[in-house]
Amino acid sequence: MLVLGIETSCDETAAAIVEDGKTVWSDVVASQIAVHSPYGGVVPELASRQHVQAILVVIQQALERARLSRHQLDAIAVTRGPGLVGALLVGLGAAKAMAYALGIPLIAVNHLEGHMHAAFMGRDPLGRPFACLVVSGGHSALYLVDGEGRGELLGCTRDDAAGEAFDKVAKLLGLGYPGGVAIDRLARQGNRRAFSFPRALMEKGSLDFSFSGLKTSVATFVRKHGPPPERGQAGAYRLEDLVASFQEAVVDVLVKKIIRAAQARQVTDVAVVGGVAANGRLRELLIEETAGNRLHLHLPEPRYCTDNAVMIAAAGYHAWKRQGFCQDPLEVDAVSRWT
């Protein structure tokens, strides 16, 4: 079954063609980083306009790279939510139009479920329950996923998500956008034990997250010690040490929570997905700690951590197997929040 996946939930316009949920025929992503960088974050109105300009181009490129015509598609999977409503509507509108014109089914996909499938691209999903941490720009959430792909929410963020904390701290320090990438790169040169920042593990047994206090702690540190010194100049601290210490506080909490979730639900497999799952230090610590706790770790390839349409096509295929197509595809609407 050939599924065209379409993803426009935030600042990437993406299209991909995937066969039977695991064989990738094409994968096209149009990034908007250059558009949003001057503002230090995603501007929703600009994102929507960029999607309008790029959506038909990336769909055509996906078909050309797969050497397929649109008439060879069996179904179209599209992100319905969660995300920026204006951005979602662009992808949803294109998917509806194509499905109607071609007379093929439409599958509405939850963006977070798409991320979950990214960890298993190229092979069949686990046939047994596993703990899954979805950690991206706007989401930090833990799920118990059963053998059929249904997820039970175990914990979520009470304020800032991990990705938001990365972006806000990067903006505070003048590191540019996307902040997570800049911090990950700079932290490799720093001492992650130079400064002690708080780890909000919440009350005993909680699987929720909170990163707002950590972000505030970094801001307080900068107010007390002054802005980061220019490269090559002496100062009260090294920027590399500051970001390495901040990053360690984030990844330490994420790793502790996913292991706690696996142990609480007595599962032996864990998956960590989403944009932050590409972070080098997070991947390193996950490998160490899951091995020490005899857990089987599943990580997406770095290119499938950030938003892409491959994961949407794969999730769409498995959603179809589980629950079928949209009964009335033209009535499907975008949703900003979708657990």
* Same-domain check for residues 105 and 130: no
Within-domain flag for 339: no
* Same-domain check for residues 104 and 213: no
pLDDT of residue 232: 59
Within-domain flag for 338: no
* Same-domain check for residues 70 and 110: yes
* Same-domain check for residues 295 and 310: no
Q: What pTM was estimated for this model as a whole?
A: 0.91
* Same-domain check for residues 52 and 144: no
pLDDT of residue 231: 67
Within-domain flag for 35: yes
* Same-domain check for residues 226 and 294: yes
C-alpha–C-alpha distance, residues 285 and 175, integer Å: 24
Q: State pLDDT tens for residues 43-71.
A: 999 999 999 999 999 999 999 999 999 99
Within-domain flag for 272: yes
Q: Residue 65 sits in a domain of what CATH number?
A: 3.30.420.40
Within-domain flag for 244: yes
Is the dihedral angle over the CA atoms 307, 309, 314, 320 positive or is it negative? positive
* Same-domain check for residues 150 and 104: no
* Same-domain check for residues 199 and 100: no
pLDDT of residue 44: 92
20-56 exposure pattern, b = at least 16 Cβ within 10 A, e = fewer: ebbebbbbbbbbbeeebeeebbbbeeebbbbbbebbe
Within-domain flag for 96: yes
Residue ranges making up the domain that contains 46: 2-117+305-331
Joined together, the tokens standing for residue 292 give 């020490």
Within-domain flag for 52: yes
Tally of domains in the chain: 2
Query: Cα 13–16–18 angle (5° rounding)?
Result: 155
263-300 exposure pattern, b = at least 16 Cβ within 10 A, e = fewer: eeeebebbbbbbbbbbbebbbebbeebbeeeebebbbb
pLDDT under 50: residue ranges of the chain: none
* Same-domain check for residues 136 and 80: no
Within-domain flag for 167: yes
